[in-house]
Structure 1
Amino acid sequence: MIALTDLEGRWTLSRRIVDHLAAREGRFVGQCRWLPDAHGLRQDEAGILHYADAPPMQAHRSYLWRAEGEGLVVSFDDGRPFHRLGPGQLSDLHQCDPDLYEVRYDFSQWPDWTQSWRVRGPRKDMTLHSRFQRSG
């Protein structure tokens, strides 16, 4: 299990997106930074999203990471809970009615690591696989 401070800094991010429902694929390539804030770290990712036949577009998202006991809690940038991980718990679920998001982390190749999402529901059927590599 990693500590919150292990994430601080800049990472190169590549993400493969497979939309099984729409039979489309995409990829995101960019940078991700974990920067200290008042209560932990703020994750900011920015880059270019290539999705199916659409023109490439700028994409950005942010999350809040907090240490809680021996684990980490991830929230949306407005503070709403998203998911958590901890020793022996490198996967979690997030219900976004009517869809269910399942995340799995793999830190076995640290400092490179991956995050995989499986999203299922009546509106979505997607797989997202992200690879993070330290860049500074």
Structure 2
Amino acid sequence: MDPLRLVGTWDFRREVQDHRDGSVYTARGEATFRAEDDGRIRWTENGTLTWPAGSTPVTRTLFLVREEPGGLGSPSGWRVTFEDGRDFHPWTAGAVEHLCGRDLYQGGMALPPGPPRSWELSWRVRGPEKDYTMRTRYSRPFEVEVAPL
């Protein structure tokens, strides 16, 4: 899916299941996809992470970047990078992997055909530092239609 179709605001709900101690965390917030002048798409998330003992604000920024000719070969022609420019993974509906130190992120996106109203991203993370499953559902905010007076 062309990530330009995601430009705008999305609500997100994320669940993180820690397989080491059985903890479950949830995050809710807003994700914004904004086309930048340099051709990248800025992907910003702001929300609140909650667990039984409390909550904390969370934020992150990623970028969707068009690949240069002769690049790593993402099927979509786009890649996801971290805010500092480090490569994360190809932008594709297929399975993706990312090695973070000695921890392996294995994930995938469920991107619907046609104009998206929602989509999902999931990760299974394993390694000496991490062992969790994270699922995020993005959906367009509910829009109220107001009849003219």
Same fold (TM over 0.5): yes
**Which structure 2 segments of 5+ residues have no match?**
68-74, 144-149
Instruction: Please give the TM-score of this superposition, normalised by the length of structure 1.
Output: 0.89
Check 1:47–1:118 CA distance in 2 against 1; reply closer, same or farther (3 A cut). same
Distance 1:72 1:28 in 2: 26
Structure 2 CA distance for aligned equivalents of residues 104 and 64 of structure 1: 17
Considering fraction of residues, name the structure with more strand. 1
Cα distance in 1 for partners of 2:55, 2:138 equals 21
Deviation of 1:97 after TM superposition, in Å, equals 1.7
Which whole-Å CA distance do the structure 1 matches of 2:35 and 2:91 have between them?
Answer: 19
CA contact (8 A) 1:63 1:77 kept: yes
Q: Give the corresponding residue for 1:85.
A: 91
CA contact (8 A) 1:10 1:33 kept: yes
1-side partners of 2:50 and 2:96: how far apart? Answer: 27
CA shift for structure 1 position 52: 4.1
The residue number in structure 1 matching 2:39 is 39
- Contact 2:4 2:35 (C-alpha < 8 Å) held by counterparts: no
DSSP 3-state at the match of 1:56:
strand
- Structural RMSD (CA): 1.7
* Segment drifting more, 6-15 vs 104-113: 104-113
Identical amino acids, percent of aligned pairs: 30
How far the C-alpha of 1:4 sits from its partner, in A, is 2.1
Q: Is the 8 A contact 1:112 1:132 kept in 2?
A: yes
Query: How far apart are the structure 1 equivalents of 2:47 and 2:31?
Result: 9
For 2:4, the equivalent position in structure 1 comes to 5
TM normalised by structure 2 equals 0.82
Query: Does the Cα contact within 8 Å between 1:4 and 1:66 map onto a contact in 2?
Result: no
Structure 2 partner of 1:30 = 29
Residue in structure 2 matched with residue 121 of structure 1 by the alignment:
127
Give the structure with higher Rg (CA).
Answer: 2
Query: What number of residue pairs does the alignment pair up?
Result: 132
Structure 1, gaps ≥5 residues long: none
Task: Decide whether the 8 Å contact of 1:113 with 1:131 is kept in 2.
Answer: yes
